[in-house]
Amino acid sequence: MQTLQVGAINSNKDLPYSELSTLQTSLQQLQKEYSSEKERTLSLQKVTTNLESSVHKYALLLSEEKNERKKTLEKYDALQNKYHSEIQKIAQKYYLLIGACIVLLVLLVFQYADDIRELIMKQAY
């Protein structure tokens, strides 16, 4: 495209040399600006690519951290449920033992009620 423009300018015999020189200088200036903008665009594309890469990396890290936190919470819940069921088993055994002791105590009181009554009567007099 640039070659065509230069060729078009050179083939135009009606233009004076000063205008031709000015046009060529303008063309060179535009080419420099185009090159500069192209370099800037490439630089911005690299920056954008680096930012996208960083965002993707941090997103993966956050996802991994979220998964680890989820696993930790699941382990905690499982452990808490296990301890809760163990505590319930121990409590059931404890209440059963207390109930058995009360029943035994009641049986002993009924079996020895007469002896206890006599003892109380003797001590009272």
- Whether 9 and 20 have beta carbons less than 8 Å apart is answered as yes
pLDDT digits (tens, 9 = 90+) for 21-66: 888 899 999 999 999 999 999 999 999 999 999 999 999 999 999 9
- Supply the range of the domain harboring residue 64: 2-124
Higher pLDDT, 11 or 20: 20
Q: The whole model's pTM is what?
A: 0.46
Residue carrying the six token digits 């919470």 = 73
Instruction: Look at residue 99 in the predicted model and tell me its pLDDT.
Output: 96
Rounded Cα–Cα distance for residues 7 and 86 (Å): 93
Higher pLDDT, 5 or 106: 106
Total count of domains within the chain: 1
Average pLDDT of the chain to the nearest whole number: 87
